Every structure is written in structure tokens, then in C-alpha cells.
A and B are shown apart, each in its own frame.
Chain A
């Protein structure tokens, strides 16, 4: 089984709908992240969490919200989806320590019509 699991893998929805993307991990890491990936722009940080009670905005948090339900679960919500939120979304985890890499899930491809 994958260490970082994202659901769903693909989602097509309409403008104005509320959408939740879920991420769960079995790595035991405290740090969890949500990114979006767009062609030519790379990975951009939406939100990050260092533990269940510590949630922080990233560089592009407008239009998104998150919930850290447990150490192992971190969900991303789009309250009212708009077409420019069409992108590939990745969840990542990281252990403590400056030289620890981030571990990514396989992404959710989200299309908003």
C-alpha cells in the first residue's frame, strides 16, 4: 500500500460545487502539505500543517480551506469551486529534521467545468 494516499484520483465537477480532497498517510509524519501543480508554474503551496493544532496558509490559500482531522489525515476543501482551480493537487508529508525530504501522494486530477 502507498505511504501517502489521496482520494479521489480524478474528479470532474461544476462551478460553484463544494469539493473535498482527502489525504491519509502511514509514515507517522507530523508535517503535511497541500500543493497544486499547473503547467509552467510548478508546485505551489496551498496550506501546511505541522501537527493537528497547527495549520498555516501557503502562498495561494485563497479559495481553499483545510482540516487536520488526525495526525494521519489532512483534507483540502474548495468551498465554491471555480474553473481556474482546475489543476493537479498533491498531498505531501515530511518528518522532522531539516534534511528530511517530502513524500508525495500520486495526486488528484481536478477539473472544474
Chain B
């Protein structure tokens, strides 16, 4: 079993839709959870960073962590064409200086 799993998509939604992106993980020791966004022909960039269970909101983005289910989600409200990208969940390993990345979900927001 992979440590971090994501549905690769592709996911295609109309502009203005609410998007839900999800990851599951197997290592209960993960404490920090990150979402990276990667545009085509670009490197990943950190989008959100959360610690332990609960919700964190940043503008149109909400990150949700359910440690009991080993499940994390990223919600995008009022999605825009500029949100079209691949979204990777990521979790630091014990040393925090190494990170395990999910394979990414490709999202297209259609105008």
C-alpha cells in the first residue's frame, strides 16, 4: 500500500463550481499536511499547510484533515479557470525535512 494515495483524475468542472480534492494516507504518525499546486511546465508551489485535525480556510480554499480516517481534503469554492492545475497532497516524514507526495489530481475548470 502506498503511503499517500490520490485519485489522479482528470477532474473537469464548470467555472464557479465547488471542487473537492482528496487524499488518503496510511501512516498515523503524520502530523502536518500540505497541499501543493502545480501549473503546467512549472514546479509545485505550496498552497496550504495544516496541522492535525480540523479545517483551515484561506480565501476560496479550505483544507480539511480527519486523522481518525486518515483522510485529507482540499475544497475550492467559486472555482476559476486559473485554478486549472495539478494538486498534490504532501506530508512530512519524521524528520520534517523529507516529504511524501501524493501522485496529484489534475483539475480543469472550464469557462
Contacts and interface: CB of A to CB of B under 8 A. Distances in A.
Nearest to B8: A40
Interface size class on chain B is 20 to 34
A42 B103 contact: yes
B45 A99 contact: no
Given A48-B98, A99-B32, A99-B49, A105 B103 contact: no
B21 interface: no
A104 B43 contact: yes
Nearest to B102: A42
A45 to B, nearest CB: 7
Interface of B: 4, 6, 8, 32, 34, 41-46, 49, 88, 92, 96-99, 101-104
Closest 8 CB pairs of A and B: A104-B43, A42-B103, A98-B96, A101-B46, A43-B101, A42-B101, A106-B43, A104-B44
A41 interface: yes
A68 interface: no
Interface residues of A, number: 22
B101 A104 contact: no
Interface in A42-95: 42-43, 45, 48, 50, 58, 90, 92, 94
Contacts of B41: 106-107
Nearest to A48: B98
Nearest to A58: B98
